[in-house]
Structure 1
Amino acid sequence: ILTLACDACKKFTLHVPSKLDAEKFIGRVNLKECFRSANLIHSSDPDFRVLEDGSVYTTNAVHLSSEKRNFTIVLSNAENQEKKMVVVLEHQTKIEALKKRHSKEKILRRAKRRWAPIPCSMQENSLGPFPLFLQQVQSDTAQNYNVYYSIRGPGVDREPINLFYVERDTGNLYCTRPVDREQYESFELIAFATTPDGYTPELPLTIVIKIEDENDNYPIFTETAYVFTVAENSRIGSTVGQVCATDKDEPDTMHTRLKYSIIGQIPASPTLFSMDPKTGVITTLSSQLDRELIDRYQLKIKVQDMDGQYFGLQTTSTCIINIGDVNDNLPTFTHTPYVTSVEENTVDVEIFRVTVEDKDLINSPNWRANYTILKGNENGNFKIVTDSKTNEGILCVVKPLNYEEKQKVVLQIGVVNEAPYSREATLRSTMSTATITVNVKNQDEGPECSPPTQTVRIKENAPVGTKSGGYKAYDPESRTSNGIRYKKLSDPKGWVNVDENSGSITVFRSLDREAEDIRNGIYNITVVASDTDRRSCTGTLGIILEDVNDNGPSIPKQTVIICKATMSSAEIVAVDPDEPINGPPFAFRLDSDSDSNVQRVWELKKINDTAARLSYRNDLPFGSYKVPIRVTDRQGQSKVTLVNVCLCDCITENDCTTRTPRIGNGDVKLGKWAILAILLGIALLFCVLFTLVCGASGTDKKQKVFPDDVAQQNLIVSNTEAPGDDKVYATNGFTSQVVSSSAQAVCGTMGSGGKTGGQETIEMVKGGHQTLESCQAAGHHHTLESCKGGHVEVDNCRYTCSEWHSFTEPRLGEKVQLCNQNVDGNPVQDYVLTYNYEGRGSVAGSVGCCSERQDDDGLEFLDHLEPKFRTLAETCVKR
């Protein structure tokens, strides 16, 4: 218990046991109230030590022989100002005597109400003796009543149970056993004052008991061992890592003020690392970390509470620091110079291996080598690659060497690491170099075809047996062609023969420069040259065919069309397969030898070196004409081409194919397709006339029916509920019109029936539905949906319409009468169902048998039609 005297800096009283152990916390004094700017604290008694926050600790074991013991705390600051504070240590036995005396004199001495929260605290892990007196709870009503005191709350009737109790009569509050602050920081109790008969003169009193912290917990590192990595050659002050520790004691006190330090290093020398005492951050003290010398350091680190004071609790741990590798060592060749050899004409073979040394980390980018050829490989004969397992450089030949050209090759090679060099190379290059001398060994080689493609020149149409130079191969060792034999390997057209001994060629068949597959006038053959040991090489001989004027100019487009309405001439273009020296300019003229009439009818004028314009002189009739034209090149070679000229009544040339052709003298010529078209037209005309006559004459003989394919138009087949016939019924009295596939057409009167301008529908039992777009109001079109086979316009519609009207009127009336009754004469439902909707809605009335029927035709809309439709309507109206 700590009691503060009335005057600060005079005296503090601490109640302690008679025996105190060393390094024991005994209480806390308020130094700030005494001297706020103090920075030096001194105790007059060496057995006691005072910290910055006012905590008082024993430095040695202390035994209080008397009831009191005093010592002085001297406080001073930088200005040498000084204050003193007296601390009184009282033995706890005196407290019991004070309790008894206070109990006897409480009525006489209570002049002030104390029923209010009184601060109270106790030291954690207290040594007792127990029960330990904490404070006294009293009520002013005890002057007038006999008051009984009681408490409730954590530590009384809740966990931890029975830790505190209060004397019923005196109100003295006791603790029965030590308390751990890390488990219970404080307790909040509720005190009650009641009279023996249960009356409560006071409201419940809340009492807070705070557990004072004792430095009984060691700081603990978060990890048993820390592992960090820092790159070698790092700068001074580079961060390596950070360690951390925790302490369960009360925060923001000296008990949890931790201090970190390094207490050991392996290897011990030199000291390369430091640690921030407050944050635990480890940094480098030197830039001489070298992984190649020492790749790992082990530190022993310590954390201590009480801000590192020697009596603070401490814990140690281990920190492993690995030194990371950087490319600070160059690869170097183990030997130089190197010498090797290779036979000529060998390729894709390994000829030598070079080795390097590198102190950096094996199998890392800082260690792996990249080789390159710096000089001596201008012809691309060599390449060097790295063996991923051994880090050696493998020198290979990728292009054959020729001993006759060069007997020795000196290569300069260099090597670097995959990772860039980390240090500045000021005094030397970052690339190690070495030389490799490659000696080329001679081989007995076969003939050499060099160059691989050779040419000779021969005039086309040269006589058979004409000889010319051919292909030549040679022995690379003797540089002669002695002993070499030649053989023709490929001759696509079989034009030449190759001499076996000399390689010269002889014409076997006539050469044609303008032949097919001859490009740019060059004919290629393949020749094989071999020696006595059957070693061979292959070459190509290109025969350049010199042009001869053996082709006259010709006209590729031998049929031209002249549309008489838009043009009066046609352009004639000539070509010559010979070379330009034997080609244009061309001379054009009409060849009058074959037909003297050509000069009189046609005229030919030259446009440019390769074209002329052909025009007719008089007003020729339409037809096809044959015009012979002779074209002569600059060397006098000529050729006659018979040009077919079609003179048409057309606008464009494509239209001329649909016209009937004529003979050049004006007579008409009919082709087989024209004759077939005329016959088909005549047959169709007879069919139409026969259909109309039969349709009119058959009115009285047999009932007209709708064709079966009518339903295949734009109406679907209706659902028929009873057997039907071929009759047609309309609700508003209009007569239907159908155009069949046989080109028979009938028209009838179209009445509005109160639905003028609407769309009428008809029901066909056999064929399904058909939609008829009836006459519209003035200014609208009149359309008729035709049958599947198409619709045909018939000029005599008025006659067939009258016949159709007389045929359908009596039968439709009978159908209407029978529609309303069944076989027994009773009314029945419609057996004709409404057709399914497939598009636009209909404004016409129902076609059911029970619909409203009208007798008048309803043709008033015909008076408002446009002129061109009024004539059609008058034709179809019944007279």
Structure 2
Amino acid sequence: MWNQFFLLEEYTGSDYQYVGKLHSDQDKGDGSLKYILSGDGAGTLFIIDEKTGDIHATRRIDREEKAFYTLRAQAINRRTLRPVEPESEFVIKIHDINDNEPTFPEEIYTASVPEMSVVGTSVVQVTATDADDPSYGNSARIIYSILQGQPYFSVEPETGIIRTALPNMNRENREQYQVVIQAKDMGGQMGGLSGTTTVNITLTDVNDNPPRFPQSTIHLRIPESSPVGTAIGSIKATDADTGKNAEVEYRIIDGDGTDMFDIVTQRDTQEGIITVRKPLDYETRRLYTLKVEAENIHVDPRFYYLGPFKDTTIVKISVEDVDEAPVFSRSSYLFEVHEDIELGTIIGTVMARDPDSASSPIRFSLDRHTDLDRIFNIHSGNGSIYTSKTLDREISQWHNLSVIAAEINNPKDTTRVPVYVRILDVNDNAPQFAVFYDTFVCENARAGQLIQTISAVDKDDPLGGQKFFFSLAAVNPNFTVQDNEDNTARILTRRNGFSRHEISTYLLPVVISDNDYPIQSSTGTLTIRVCACDSRGNMQSCNAEALLLPAGLSTGALIAILLCIIILLVIVVLFAALKRQRKKEPLILSKEDIRDNIVSYNDEGGGEEDTQAFDIGTLRNPAAIEDKKLRRDIIPETLFVPRRTPSAPDNTDVRDFINQRLKEHDTDPSAPPYDSLATYAYEGNDSIAESLSSLESGTTEGDQNYDYLREWGPRFNKLAEMYGGGESDKDTS
């Protein structure tokens, strides 16, 4: 029976520890058998004597590393090496000794328990482990005990559950506790091994404390000018609890200022903010008393026995006096006044007073930004508003003013009030035509025929509504007006047939009256044109010239004819412009282009006897005796020789020069076929034409002699006809 062996762990002897012996009944003791060992630790941890079968452990064994080893044994014939028995398996089991102390998985534990908990309330459980064999002896049997933390906490020996040991532990007195727990094996007996751990226990808060005001009476001050919503001050009730257990709600529960003040709870600071609910007045009341309560929001029913979780305090609020602005008797004023009243008429009065105990005189003024046209003014002492300009409802029906009231002793402190002035209507406008009427009557109109319906408008606005009456200023033989009694009237013809050739336009004065007091009326004149109409009464034409056109010619046909005429005119203008562009440039463009030896003598000088102003010799040209050249394009006509007077011998040279130049142009084949004008402004000495000036000579008596011009004028005209200029160019020639 060697299939299981036992070996004690942690052997400390100097020799190998004997485990056991293998033996086969085939062994005769003659050494013929050989024992072989295989399996866990064979040959290293465990060795076997081949001849005797004794097994030894070569070193110390720790059960916590391996609790048992499985090996196989076999006996063989040493000579033949054949097994004499089948291979057999056996186990070496390690016996435990108490060589491991209990250990905790955490070195430090953290736990909490509500304050005021009853005795025995579970806090936390700690558990230690022992590596020894729990099935062999008491090496792994652990017992717990408390080394530190008494008398507040205790621990269950078998389970390690930590419980409260004192009643009503108060967090406000002590919040943190440190407990040391020991775990010991061998059932806690002497000689057992042990381990310890630390548990940090915190008492959590519960709402076991009511809020408390630090003072029974609190004093606050506020100026009377503070607007509604102004924060006066804050109050705070302290609570020993924390978190939501310390949340407090403030309210005003009593006092003579419950309707004048409010209190608001600030959640972040747990303060009560007192604010102004209604306007304050130092002159009315100077001191208010409030009773304020602070109460916990979250109350634990378990602690009702401790009393109410609330507290109260008295808050006294003093109202301080300030210099207040004037106060108007009304928040706004409305005045009504008729238009066209006399200047300086008072339309209304505003009133204001100084609310301070020491009343100060008030001064009134108008805000000119609300009365840019300065239509109104105000009496600075009594607040009477009067007109400074004429009021006209038709221009502005409403005036929105702003009146300023200021204390004389403190003019910077002002108050404003709106003043609305409504202008009432007075019948001061006459009715007029509603629109401009373009009225016509057909030539074939019959008597009693409607040609126009008219209406009227009036800038006035009477209370009973507008009512107009229409009539003619005088009896008219051609037209009449018929009042429809609905603020309209009809214009009717009084006779048959009208002729636009005789009278093309009629003027019809119509009188329009209203029914308000005083009655206003005006005369409006209708312009009635006489027009040609078709059988249906549709207007065709109102112009007398239209009769000259063929009968039945429509307006579209007339427009087409006009378009054709315009197009023809444009074509003619373009053609003339093109023809002008193709023309050659004139021979002489300006005086600077004259190639001949021509001098413009435009100075009359000192008279006909003045020969010093210009030397006539410059006109004597030797080229005048050159041979004559015949012109190929025309045969010049014979020029008549002008008459000479004995008193002008020098004129022969000038006449010969001019004739010579004319012949040259007539016979010059390169001369252009149009007129050319050269100006010779020489008057000459003792000219037969004498002075050409519009001013008569002062040295001659009687009429001037213009025989020279009468002689040469027809000749120049003849030259113009020869060159093709025609009758229209004679003056130019």
TM norm. shorter chain > 0.5: yes
Partner residue, 1:791: none
Q: CA deviation at 1:530?
A: 2.7
CA distance, structure 2, for counterparts of residue 354 and residue 597 of structure 1: 100
Match status 1:540 vs 2:417: yes
CA distance, structure 1, for counterparts of residue 417 and residue 117 of structure 2: 68
Partner residue, 1:525: 402
Partner residue, 1:169: 51
Match status 1:304 vs 2:184: yes
Change (3 A) 1:305 1:554: farther
Partner residue, 2:348: 469
The one-letter amino acid of 1:665's match is M
CA distance, structure 1, for counterparts of residue 324 and residue 514 of structure 2: 58
What value does the CA root-mean-square deviation take over the aligned residues?
A: 5.6
CA distance, structure 1, for counterparts of residue 38 and residue 120 of structure 2: 60
Q: CA deviation at 1:472?
A: 1.4
Select between 414-423 and 286-295 the one with higher mean Cα deviation. 414-423
Partner residue, 2:217: 337
Residues 486, 502 of structure 1: 8 Å contact kept: yes
CA distance, structure 1, for counterparts of residue 182 and residue 73 of structure 2: 47
CA distance, structure 2, for counterparts of residue 426 and residue 412 of structure 1: 25
Partner residue, 1:713: none
Q: CA deviation at 1:336?
A: 1.9
Q: CA offsets per residue over residues 722-767 of structure 1, 9 Å max, x none? A: xxxxxxxxxxxxxxxxxxxxxxxxxxxxxxxxxxxxxxxxxxxxxx
Change (3 A) 1:373 1:213: same
Partner residue, 2:5: 120
Instruction: Give 3-state SS (helix, strand or coil) of 1:165's partner.
Output: strand
Instruction: Give 3-state SS (helix, strand or coil) of 1:497's partner.
Output: strand
The one-letter amino acid of 1:581's match is L
The one-letter amino acid of 1:280's match is G
Partner residue, 2:711: none
Residues 373, 384 of structure 1: 8 Å contact kept: no
Partner residue, 1:485: 363
CA distance, structure 1, for counterparts of residue 198 and residue 157 of structure 2: 16
Q: 1:224 aligns with which of 81, 102, 107?
A: 107
The one-letter amino acid of 1:528's match is A
Q: CA deviation at 1:341?
A: 4.5
The one-letter amino acid of 2:335's match is V
Q: CA offsets per residue over residues 317-367 of structure 1, 9 Å max, x none? A: 332222122332122223323345555335799876656454335xx5545
Q: CA deviation at 1:547?
A: 3.2
Instruction: Give 3-state SS (helix, strand or coil) of 2:327's partner.
Output: coil
Partner residue, 1:433: 312
Change (3 A) 1:531 1:133: same
Residues 470, 481 of structure 2: 8 Å contact kept: no
CA distance, structure 2, for counterparts of residue 455 and residue 526 of structure 1: 12
Change (3 A) 1:603 1:548: closer
Q: 1:195 aligns with which of 77, 97, 105?
A: 77
Change (3 A) 1:163 1:332: same
The one-letter amino acid of 1:487's match is S
Q: CA deviation at 1:439?
A: 3.0
Show structure 2 runs of 5+ residues with no match: 438-452, 493-507, 527-535, 544-553, 568-733
Change (3 A) 1:276 1:667: farther
The one-letter amino acid of 1:156's match is A
Residues 147, 182 of structure 2: 8 Å contact kept: no
Residues 145, 195 of structure 1: 8 Å contact kept: no
CA distance, structure 1, for counterparts of residue 50 and residue 401 of structure 2: 132
Residues 330, 421 of structure 1: 8 Å contact kept: no
Partner residue, 1:833: none
Change (3 A) 1:136 1:343: same
Q: CA deviation at 1:249?
A: 2.1
CA distance, structure 1, for counterparts of residue 525 and residue 15 of structure 2: 143
Partner residue, 2:168: 288
Higher-RCO chain (CA-CA 8 Å, sequence separation at least 6):
2
Match status 1:415 vs 2:297: no
Match status 1:179 vs 2:179: no
Change (3 A) 1:388 1:587: closer
The one-letter amino acid of 1:454's match is Y
Which of the pair has more CA radius of gyration?
2
- Residues 130-529 of structure 1 correspond to what in structure 2 (within 5 A)? 130-139=15-24, 142=27, 146-157=32-43, 162-197=44-79, 199-201=81-83, 202=85, 204-234=87-117, 238-250=121-133, 255=138, 259=142, 261-264=144-147, 266=149, 268=151, 271=152, 273-284=153-164, 288-306=168-186, 312-345=192-225, 356-360=237-241, 364=243, 366-367=245-246, 371-375=250-254, 376-378=256-258, 380=260, 401-416=280-295, 425=304, 429-445=308-324, 447-477=326-356, 483-490=361-368, 491-492=370-371, 493-513=373-393, 515=395, 521=398, 523-529=400-406
Change (3 A) 1:403 1:172: same
Q: CA offsets per residue over residues 343-400 of structure 1, 9 Å max, x none? A: 5335799876656454335xx55457665544555555576777988x7767676976
Q: CA deviation at 1:546?
A: 5.2
The one-letter amino acid of 2:62's match is D
Instruction: Give 3-state SS (helix, strand or coil) of 2:463's partner.
Output: helix
Q: CA deviation at 1:412?
A: 1.9
Q: CA deviation at 1:177?
A: 3.1
TM-score where L is the length of structure 2: 0.56
CA distance, structure 2, for counterparts of residue 428 and residue 602 of structure 1: 100
Change (3 A) 1:267 1:281: closer
The one-letter amino acid of 2:63's match is R
CA distance, structure 1, for counterparts of residue 475 and residue 64 of structure 2: 134
Change (3 A) 1:283 1:197: same
Q: CA offsets per residue over residues 60-119 of structure 1, 9 Å max, x none? A: xxxxxxxxxxxxxxxxxxxxxxxxxxxxxxxxxxxxxxxxxxxxxxxxxxxxxx8xx823
Instruction: Give 3-state SS (helix, strand or coil) of 1:221's partner.
Output: coil
Q: CA deviation at 1:180?
A: 0.5
Partner residue, 1:808: none
Change (3 A) 1:312 1:461: farther
Residues 245, 296 of structure 2: 8 Å contact kept: yes
Instruction: Give 3-state SS (helix, strand or coil) of 1:432's partner.
Output: strand
Residues 370, 386 of structure 1: 8 Å contact kept: no
Q: CA deviation at 1:538?
A: 1.9
Residues 116, 168 of structure 2: 8 Å contact kept: yes
CA distance, structure 2, for counterparts of residue 203 and residue 572 of structure 1: 146
Counting matched residue pairs gives: 513
- Residues 615-626 of structure 1 correspond to what in structure 2 (within 5 A)? none
Show structure 1 runs of 5+ residues with no match: 1-113, 560-570, 617-626, 644-661, 684-879
The one-letter amino acid of 1:527's match is I
TM-score where L is the length of structure 1: 0.48
The one-letter amino acid of 2:38's match is R
CA distance, structure 2, for counterparts of residue 597 and residue 313 of structure 1: 148
Q: CA deviation at 1:556?
A: 9.5
CA distance, structure 2, for counterparts of residue 477 and residue 555 of structure 1: 61
Residues 432, 522 of structure 2: 8 Å contact kept: yes
Residues 214, 255 of structure 1: 8 Å contact kept: no
Q: CA deviation at 1:496?
A: 0.8
Change (3 A) 1:166 1:576: farther
